[in-house]
A and B are shown apart, each in its own frame.
Chain A
Amino acid sequence: METQRDGEAGGLLDVRGLTKVFGTLKACDAIDLTIDRGEIHALLGENGAGKSTFVKMLFGALEPAAGTIGWKGRQVTIPTPGAARRLGIGMVFQHFSLFEALTAAENIMLSLDEKAPIMQIAERARALSKTYGLPLDPFAHVGDLSVGERQRIEIIRCLLQKPDLIILDEPTSVLTPQEADKLFDTLETLRDEGKSILYISHRLEEVKRLCDRATVLRHGRVVAHCDPRQETAASLARMMVGNDVEAVSRPADAGGAHEALLEVSGLSRPAANPFAVPLREIRLTVRAGQVLGIAGVAGNGQGELFEALSGEALQEHAGVVRIRGMDCGRLSISGRRLLGAGFVPEERLGHGAAPHMRLSENLLLSRHATDGKSLLGPLGTVREGALTAAAERIVETMDVRMSGTDPEAAALSGGNLQKFIIGRELDRQPAVLIVNQPTWGVDAGAAARIRQALIDLARSGSAVLVISQDLDELFEISDAIAVMHDGRLSAPLPIAEASFEKVGLLMGGAAPGHTIDNALDNATEQA
């Protein structure tokens, strides 16, 4: 709509001094950022650095407290997402907003301002998907599509609005490495056409590979503008975190005979609701001293597997799950804890912890059965002194930062609460620890600490099962990696044989070259 201005100096977006304050926290503090036409610009920062707040202001979802937004050479205010779209700013969110029961084309139609017949929209979507190498069937139901395909719908929906600037929020966090490669090709095509992209990520390798410039945020401030190609992953990480992150060390397995502490054989579970994933014939073994990683794109049955292993969902036969050699498929979560297992679920608030209860009460949540002797007195009374002391011990061991003594769980930051929840289980030295997404949304320093703690627990003789979508993390801590896809679990790849490519193919559902059975044999031979 403003073609006559296109010639101006290549500058597309010119943000100056953008500030947003929540209560006493300056989420964004005088942020400057410029984006040229035909540029892929990275916005880097740890969780809580202010990235999301910043782009929400650009997209009209939050109102800035101060600062200006220059767009194509003139100042604008962006009161609503609709206004952002009309200016030519499009956004693809990390969490999709699609109706599962509708088709791709219907979902696209719902978001368009114009009224156009569905066939015409489907045709335009198909044409776009061809141009940009984003294969998509417009008439497929969203519920049947993989996460990667759903993301394509969001991208095409965004492209149909003909934006000049596309904001992508952590787009590869839900993709396999191969799908991510395809996405990068698409983004490069878009750049070559003169479109600009603001690329939010904390994955340094892909930023180095893809982006022309980068802006690094820390605690709501810009700490650097740089050319990521001139930097190393380590130097970028240092800018993000502010100091060097200690590398996690994984000492070699001590060797010797290893007892199988967690054994699962033929675990199947029907889908509990229409959008849950059924589990099919899952087998795995985790031995003392070992960390087994389970990779997979979100929504392939990881949550269902966790519930089945923890005993929140029971199995039909007791022998399906064995902990320390005891059949426990019919035991409740407390029964499994009493056998020596510990569990850390993916959701921190509302599952791993009750949000409005104090930390000491949240300690009781998972420990009342196993530590009844020390935490409970006569008549089932709670020994508050013992409880507070135990909570303080965990806070100190795990370096949990918080304000005041014994605050509510919801008052802690995500990373600190996660440290507490993991520390709560580590504190009792569980023989088997099952963790789902140990460092999701946790800052780099805390994440390194948690990963090290998991390795140390395994090396001290426990079996550790880690379910994660973060491949870097799994490669850092696992002795073997198995992949979940569509409710099935692949055979474990010993870490020496695993590569991003192999794991990525399995995440995408490619059948591995070997069957589960002979791979299990291999793994057994190795152990």
Chain B
Amino acid sequence: MMRLELVKRPQRSALFSAVSPLIALVLTVAAGAVMFSVLGKNPLDALYYYFIDPLRETWSLHELAVKAAPLILIAVGLSVCFLSNNWNIGAEGQFIAGAIAGGILPVVFPDFQNWSVLPLMMLMGVAGGAAYAAVPALLKARFNTNEILTSLMLVYVAQLFLDWLVRGPWRDPGGMNFPETRDFHAFAILPELLPSAGRAHWGIVFAVVAALVLWFVLRKTLKGFEIRVLGQSPRAGRFAGFSAPRMVVVAFLISGGLAGLAGISEVAGAIGQLQPSISPGYGFTAIIVAFLGRLNPLGIVAAGFVLALSYLGGEAAQISIGLSDKAARAFQGMLLFFVLGCDTLIHYRIRLAGRATARRREVAQNV
């Protein structure tokens, strides 16, 4: 009988640690090519539509920024959570909660129209996402519940609540019974950066600023040190005088707030109204972005564009060669698999331990 064992390496290679995300990307592309050929498509064509075609025109670069903005915003928040050893899996729910909270003004009070609406919407989006993230945080800090489960389950609550809102109380009275709210009025729309060139809106600016600020906090300040110590060795963190329960709440509030900002930016920028579904899984894909960016906010900016490309590429491949949109999800999943796999193999090596061999040796020696 053979057994696989992970044996800790005495020291990890600095070179491989640095290039590991690139290795993971290459492996994903290779495995993707295999997947495409199994699906009966020419792998080179598929890879072209996936990774090259979306980068050829200005408007599609704008689309890339539209998709990358929520991914980066959510993922930099998640990096604070993951570094402090808090496993917030519910960013998708916080994204929706932010969109709903921010949407109150243009949907419920459509006559309140002036320049203050948009900043208020943004603040309410942040507050909504943070409040929604506070639920699993307080449950963990107070009752030691498992935040992976509670935060994940709250995603479905948020999705169904939004669904109910847009089909029920918030449905557009003049909308022919379609399940969507009224269109946001002009004061509630997040402006486009270069309206003549494409759809990219201020969300991408928020994302880059958030990444820069959190990079500074994590790398240069005592707070960042506190986040990392509590994540790596909680007991040493307590010895340092840092409070782990307080950190649970802080980390969830930061990541929930950023996810909420991403949510309201998405509906106020890219969509312009609330619909039953406002996210193609940004909150989950952002987990991949966070790890591909090695939990470093600057790395996350780059990783956000890579994953945004996989969304665009998925659409392009669907249109041009009829590849199922599920293939894009599978592609993202493979990427996370290879990122985590590479990271594991940097710290551990695999050993095949044959119990049979040991026993054989023992028997031989007893004869």
Contacts and interface: CB of A to CB of B under 8 A. Distances in A.
Contacts of B349: none
Contacts, number: 78
A310 B239 CA distance: 8
A190 B223 CA distance: 60
Contacts of B365: 76-79, 83
A113 to B, nearest CB: 13
A369 B243 CA distance: 14
Q: Classify the interface of chain B: helix, strand, loop or mixed.
A: helix
Nearest to B240: A365
Nearest to B235: A351
A23 B10 contact: yes
Contacts of A357: 228-229, 232
Interface in A316-366: 332-334, 337, 343, 345, 347, 350-357, 361, 364-366
Contact of B241 (A355, A369, A380): A369
Interface in B316-367: 358, 361-362, 365-366
A310 B235 CA distance: 13
B254 to A, nearest CB: 15
Interface string B37-63: 000000000000000000000000000
Nearest to A364: B225
B177 interface: no
B221 interface: yes
B2 interface: no
A364 B241 contact: no
B108 interface: no
Contacts of A369: 241
Contacts of A79: 358, 361-362, 365
Given A310-B239, A332-B241, A379-B221, A80 B232 contact: no
Interface residues of A, number: 38
A361 B225 contact: yes
B346 to A, nearest CB: 13
Contacts of A343: 239
Contacts of A258: none
A86 interface: yes
Contacts of B241: 332-334, 337, 368-369
B220 A80 contact: no
A312 interface: yes
B361 A366 contact: no
B11 to A, nearest CB: 8
A368 B10 contact: no
Nearest to B10: A23
Contact of B235 (A23, A78, A350, A376): A350
A278 B228 CA distance: 32
A60 to B, nearest CB: 9
A48 interface: no
Interface in A470-493: none
A382 interface: yes
Contact of A382 (B10, B222, B366): B222
Given A354-B229, A368-B225, 4 more contacts: A357-B229, A365-B229, A376-B222, A380-B221
Interface of B: 10, 220-223, 225, 228-229, 232-233, 235-241, 358, 361-362, 365-366
The 3 closest A-B pairs by CB, nearest first: A334-B241, A354-B236, A354-B233
21 contacts: A77-B361, A77-B365, A79-B358, A79-B362, A79-B365, A80-B358, A86-B366, A310-B239, A312-B238, A343-B239, A347-B235, A351-B236, A353-B236, A355-B233, A357-B228, A357-B229, A357-B232, A364-B225, A365-B236, A368-B225, A382-B220
